[in-house]
Every structure is written in C-alpha cells, then in structure tokens.
Chain A
Amino acid sequence: MQLKKKLGSAALVAVTVVGALVAGVLPAAHADNASPKGDLVLVRNQDFATFDPDLAQNDSIFIQEQIFEPLFMITPDGKNVTPWLAKSGTVGKDKLTWTFKLRTDVKFSNGAQMTSADVKFSLDRATKGDGWGFLNTAIESVSAPSADTVVIKTNAPWAPLLSDLASFSNAILPANYGGKSADAFLKSPVGTGPFIFDHWTPGTEVKMVANKNYWQPGKPYLNSVTWKYVVDDNTRDLMLKSGQADINEFPPATSFAAINNTSGIKATAFPAAASEYIAFNHKVPALSDVHIRRAISFALDRAAIIKVVLAGVGTVSNSILAPNVGFYDATTPGIQYDMKAAAAELAKSKYKKNLTLEYLASAGSVQDQAMSSILQASLKTLGITLNIKTQEPKVKRQTQKSMNYQLTSTAWTMDISDPDELMTFALNPVEGGTSSFYTNYVNKSVINAVKRAQTTTDVAVRQKNYSLAQKLVAQDAMMMFVYNAPYIYANRTNITGFYVTPTLQYHMEDVKKA
C-alpha cells in the first residue's frame, strides 16, 4: 500500500484531511505500469451476482472493488480512511459543507480522465439507490464547481461522511455510464480500479485483466484474476492443493491447522470487524425481563462454542462492536460465562420457575447446532427448558425479520470503518429501520448516545458516547455477544501480498504470483 497516510479516526473530519500526496508518500503522477505477470485463480463458495454497486452483497462487493474505486479507502486496520481517488477533503466552519480535491492523474480503464462530473454522477446515483442509498442519508447535495473539485452539503453535521464515501456503494463510475445505458454499462463495466472486466459466466466465474492505465505506478502486479464459484469445501481445498487455484476464500475454520500442515499451501486468519450474536426478542414477556436476558447470557459458554465451531480460531466477544471497529471499548462489561451469576440473575426474575424458551436455528449450520446445544445444556442446570427449532436458512431469516422468534443467532460484518452504520441499525429502532436489529430493543439513553456520536466531529465526545452506548447495551443484555471470528483464507505459498482488511476490502493490486 502506498497510500498509508491515515486520517486518524473518521471523526477527525472536522479538520482538513490532508492528502497523502502532501506527505510525499502518494505517487505524484501516473507512470507506465510494469508488465504484470501471473494469472491468479481465487475460489469461493459465493456466486457473483451484479456489477451494480447499489445492489451488491458480499458475493459481488469484493469483485466490484477491483474495477470501481471510491474517493476514500478504508485503511488496513479497518478503523480509518485514507484518500484514494480524492486528494483531500475539507469541512467548512458550518460543519455542513465539504470540499474535496480530486486526483488529476486518474483515468478510467477506457482512457477517459476521471473528473468531478463523474463523482457527482456516481454519488447522486448512490444516494438515490434503493439498496445502499441509506448510507448517504446525510447528503443533501453534490456539486462540481471545477473539474477537480467536488462540494458535498450535508443536512446535519455528519461525522461518518468520509467513512460513508469509502463504501463500495459510493464507488466512482463514468458520468452517464460513459454514454451507455445502465444495463449495457453494468454488463461490461468500466472503472478506475486496478483490473478491467474481461468476462462473467454466471454460476462459474468472473475474470478480470490488468488495467494498464491504473493510476498507481507499477500496479497491479498480476496479469489477471479469475474468481471461480465452487460450492463444495472439499473441492476448493483440493483445487488449492493441486494448483488449480491460488487462493481459497473462507475455508472452514476447522481445516485451519490441517492446511498449515500441508506443504505448498498456508492458511491465514485476518482480523475481522465482524461479530456473532444470539438475539433476544424483547417482545416475548420473559425476555423483556433484563434478569432473564442476563441469566441466559451468563449461561452461555462462549469458549466452548469457539472450540467447537472455530477450532479455537476466534475470541470471546464482550461488546456489540468487534475489537477491530473504531470506537470499540475494551472495558465494556459484556456478560461472560458464569453459572453462579446466571443463577443469581435468575433468582431476581418473576419468570424463574418453569420457564420454557425456543431457540430458532439455521438448518445445516454447525455453528447454530453448537451454540444452541451448549446453551440448552447450561440452561437445563438452571431449570430453564430450551427447545431448538430448526428452519432452512432463508426461512429462518424471514422468521427473524418478522420477529416470530424468541432466541436466534445473528451476525454482523462492518461495511464501513465508522461504527455508525451498525449502531444506528442495531440500536435506533426507528432510524435504523429494523426495530433494533429485529429485537424490539428500545433504550432512549442508548439512542441519544448514538445520535450524539453521529453528529459530533469531536473524537473524544464520540468515544465517550459510543462507550456509553456499548456499556448500556451490555448491561441490558440486549443481545448475547458470542464471539469474534477472523476471516480465514488459504493460499499457495507462491502468492504474496494478499490481505483483506477487517471490513473485507481485497487489494488485489498488491498481490504477486511467483
């Protein structure tokens, strides 16, 4: 990475964001790229779906990011952003008007210069989007006063703006799709990224080749990257071992040690901004009682779950935020396994006798099987009966969304570096739009703390409010914080430079194949 100058916290946006160019670490101008070499094959169990940034999910995001790039990029630690297609961003004294200077050496892969018109078009499109447009709710207007200047006005002071702009959904596309229709463009997209779209065979693969107009001199190092869809875990593993694949995305955690004991391949656990939870439905009378929620939370043996599900490759969670998310507070009093404390909490509840609850599990999920059965055994010793109901994964999610459950597993992966997306989604029942992550949890003190953190640009104030929110949520046992698992990848040992950020950005421009 050559663009390593960090902005500090996203909250530092109140001051001018000085581009890394000033610091002298960013390439000053485009230079002829060295000849890329090596054809890399990455196998994954997710089938690519779309080149539309507004509709992208994890199956498509990582692939899109090799073709489209945003103004700012999430830093390798996942907690901050750094200038990317923008050189700098400055907020005015009104705290509402942002001025961005663009790099002048960026070209789309078709050779056209990237200008502020492209940025305005892309941000307007993203803001109107039905998919991820909600990330831009604070953006009131975007204007392009000159070719290398963009001005964004927000409807309120908005601390997460740079993090929002670093989202894949705010990637820069050519204005008016370069003169094509949206459909035609999205079938053969053009971007500023290190790779150019080559072909997409649905259900099979997406291939991209090196962009020789890429603005980072000498990159990418690879000639091509092919993303192959291979459902079966064993087949992906065998493809890696046989050399038919170079990187295996998300092999099972239980294979971690075995991979590292095989010559020619290795497994790496990258830190993740992701959390695994068990949600309570607070509308269920017994679960509206904080003592019952706390008792159940105390009864969950998280270490045992990590051992079974992740073969030990993971850490016990103590907060709604994962440790790799900005403003995570390590001192958050997240409830941990303690059967004595569980019994004490249960004694304080009016539901302490003959309590029967139901855990909604996902069919075929090893993780759900482990979590539910370990919890079931613990609760039995407290006199609580936990029935386990299993549903097909998609059906289970529907049941969860319609809130016809009592306890169920749920998870979150950060899309942006700022905690605002999760904190609003999970803790503000109205503005988050999902009744607090489909739990019906309401705590006005938490809502206010999140709101204050969202609208102030003072880092200390933001930390204070996010810490308060984390503490209150933990004390309320809003959900059970179970574990934080890393992202596991396996690759052949001749592959170097491969890494993913905690928010799952793939920087394939840095990867080399010997």
Chain B
Amino acid sequence: MNFLSYAGKRLLQVIPALFGISVFVFTLVHLIPGDPADVLLGQTATPARTKLLHHQLGIDRPIIVQYFSFLNHLFHGSLGTSFYDRTSVSGLIAGRLQASSFLLIGGIVLSLLISFPLAVLAASKEGAARDQIVRMVPIIGLGMPQVWIGIELILLLGLKVHLFPVSGFGYTFAEHVRSIFLPSLSIAIGLSPILIRSLRASMLEIWEADFVLTARSKGLSRIRVTVSHVLRNAIIASVTVLGVNIAYLIGSTVIVERVFAIPGTGSLMIDAIGRRDYPIVQGVTIFFALAVVTVNLITDLIHAALDPRVSL
C-alpha cells in the first residue's frame, strides 16, 4: 500500500510539472524568430499569400488564444497537427518511437554489458594494473565526441568489415537489431565510462563494509562475496546514475540519430525546430518531459525495491 501511495503521489506531482513545461515550451517556441509560413511557401511567397497561410494555420490569433487552443487539444488527448505535413503530431511521435526505443534500449544494454565486467574487474583489486587500465576507460570514453565515435565505427565495422549497415533502421525486426548495433555502441561508449566509474567506486566502498568482512570471515568465496554482497549493494547507486543518464539520453540521442540516419524522436524535434513546426516542437517536448518524469519515477521505485532502507 505504501508503494502504491508513493507512486500515486509521484504521479500527481507530474501534473504541475507538465503544466509548467507546457507554458515554458509554448512561450519559448513562439519567441523564436522565424515564420512557419515562410518555410511552407518558400522564396516566392508574397505578403498576401503569407498572410492567408497565417490565418489557415491559426497563428495570426493572439498568443494566449493559441495557448488555450493547444491546452484544449491536450486535454482531449491530441497534440495537434503538424504545420508541415498536415498529419497528427501524436501519430508522428508514435511512428518515431520505435526507432528511438530500439536505440535507447540498445544503448543501455550495451552500456551494461560493457560496464559491469569492467567495473567488477577494476574493483577486484584496487590499484592493480587491471584497475589502472579500466580507470583509463572513462577518461578516453568521455573525451570522445559521439559524432566522432559514430563515424569511426561506421568506417571500421560498416564500410571496411561490412558487418553492419552504415546507416538506417531497416524494415524487419532482424534488420532493426542489426542496424541499431553501431549507433547503440556509439551511445554505450559515451555512457559506459560514467557507469564504470560509479560502479567501481561503490564496489570499493562496499568492500570495506563490515558485512562484507563478516561474509569473508565466514569463508565465502571471493566470487560469491562479490556477486551476492558487494555487487548487489553497489548497483543501488548505479541505478540512480543510470536513471539520470537515461533521462538525459531520451532527449540527447539526436546526434547519434542524425549521424546514423535513424528516424527517431530526436530527429523529428530538430527538423521541426528548423521548420518552425510549433505543434511538433510542443508535442515532442511534452512527450520528452513525460518520458523523463516516468524514468525518474521508475528509477526511484527500483531504488526503493533494491534498498529497504529507502523510505517511501
């Protein structure tokens, strides 16, 4: 019951947050100079044709009227219609969600696959050569821009070895998985250093804890102590780090999406900003906000489930 009550309270907190975001985003989008009609009509647009299109798009109305119209649509479950291709924003986001989800999940899975073994290896003997080598990984990983990592991966594994397609998302599930490997790896190389550092530090700290000493004095093997006692407790801190970074990744995979031509929500957002397609920018931002809040909520709940000391 405590758990449900906590989840309910957290969900209620989302409402004012989303309202604040909607006001902020709406205001910000309309403050950006530029005109959607100009993008749609092109160079030959006369002032008369531009004025007519402003009216058709409803952007000649007072800003407050436009905002309440946007809110009205939102309460009715609609994010509006794109100025550019005249289709539903919800539909456009849904269409891009699959690619973004693949990318995000792929990036997280590969990050964990890289981070866990390396962190455990490093923490197994502090100061040893293996620890020193693993500690270099965060420095190198954080120092490489994702664009550069992406292009290098394409050149090596896509163009020279022909193991993976150099870009795109494919049409079938198998093609999606194959297409998403390089961009996911590109994300993982950026994310893993943070996880490695966090997990290694937590493990080293826990190795010094009394309960670990007790477990070792009972004669438990080093592997069992590491897996059952040290790693399990160290994960608690890493879950929070991972959660924060997933929230960050939701809105920041756009560079990877651009380099690998992945049709995800980040690309949708960037294109919409360039075209001054206000409904899409507003819709995607609201969606991102909701996704970030949800990820944070899930992170807190997992944290609580892993650590009984965390009070709900």
**Does A434 have its Cβ within 8 Å of any Cβ on chain B?**
yes
Q: Which chain A residues border B143 with CB–CB below 8 Å?
A: none
Given A202-B95, A434-B46, also A235-B34 (CB < 8 A): no
CA–CA, A203 to B254, complex, Å? 13
Q: For residue A96, give the distance in angstroms from its CB to the closest CB of chain B.
A: 26
**Does B20 have its Cβ within 8 Å of any Cβ on chain A?**
no
CA–CA, A241 to B35, complex, Å? 38
Assess whether A433 is in contact with B271, with CB atoms less than 8 Å apart.
no
> Which of A175-198 touch B at CB < 8 Å?
none
Q: For residue A233, give the distance in angstroms from its CB to the closest CB of chain B.
A: 11
Given A201-B95, A231-B258, A231-B261, also A394-B38 (CB < 8 A): yes
Q: Which chain B residues border A229 with CB–CB below 8 Å?
A: 261, 263
CA–CA, A228 to B260, complex, Å? 12
CA–CA, A131 to B263, complex, Å? 29
Q: Which chain A residues border B151 with CB–CB below 8 Å?
A: 234
CA–CA, A325 to B165, complex, Å? 42
> Which of A62-104 touch B at CB < 8 Å?
none
Given A239-B167, A394-B38, also A203-B268 (CB < 8 A): yes
Contact among B52, B84, B166 for A238, CB-based, below 8 A: B166
How many residues of B are counted as interface, with CB atoms below 8 angstroms from the partner's CB atoms? 44
The residue in chain A whose Cβ has the minimal distance to the Cβ of B84 is A49
CA–CA, A331 to B33, complex, Å? 42
CA–CA, A72 to B162, complex, Å? 45
Contact among B38, B40, B49, B85 for A398, CB-based, below 8 A: B38
Contact among B38, B47, B85 for A202, CB-based, below 8 A: B85
Given A242-B158, A242-B166, A395-B33, also A231-B267 (CB < 8 A): yes
Q: Which chain A residues border B276 with CB–CB below 8 Å?
A: 394
How many residues of A are counted as interface, with CB atoms below 8 angstroms from the partner's CB atoms? 36
**Does B159 have its Cβ within 8 Å of any Cβ on chain A?**
yes
Q: Interface 1/0s, chain A 19-58, versus B by CB < 8 A?
A: 0000000000000000000000000000101100001010
CA–CA, A391 to B85, complex, Å? 26
Q: Interface 1/0s, chain A 239-267, versus B by CB < 8 A?
A: 10110100000000000000000000000
Q: For residue B70, give the distance in angstroms from its CB to the closest CB of chain A.
A: 21
CA–CA, A232 to B255, complex, Å? 10
CA–CA, A182 to B33, complex, Å? 33
Q: Which chain A residues border B46 with CB–CB below 8 Å?
A: 134, 433-434
CA–CA, A493 to B151, complex, Å? 24
**Does B87 have its Cβ within 8 Å of any Cβ on chain A?**
yes
Assess whether B53 is in contact with A130, with CB atoms less than 8 Å apart.
yes
Given contacts A201-B263, A232-B261, A433-B48, 12 further A-B contacts (CB under 8 A): A50-B86, A55-B40, A57-B42, A130-B53, A132-B44, A203-B268, A231-B258, A234-B259, A235-B154, A238-B154, A239-B168, A239-B261
CB pairs A–B below 8 angstroms (20 shown): A130-B53, A134-B44, A134-B46, A202-B87, A203-B263, A203-B267, A228-B168, A230-B167, A232-B261, A234-B259, A235-B154, A235-B258, A238-B155, A242-B159, A244-B165, A244-B168, A394-B35, A397-B38, A425-B44, A434-B46
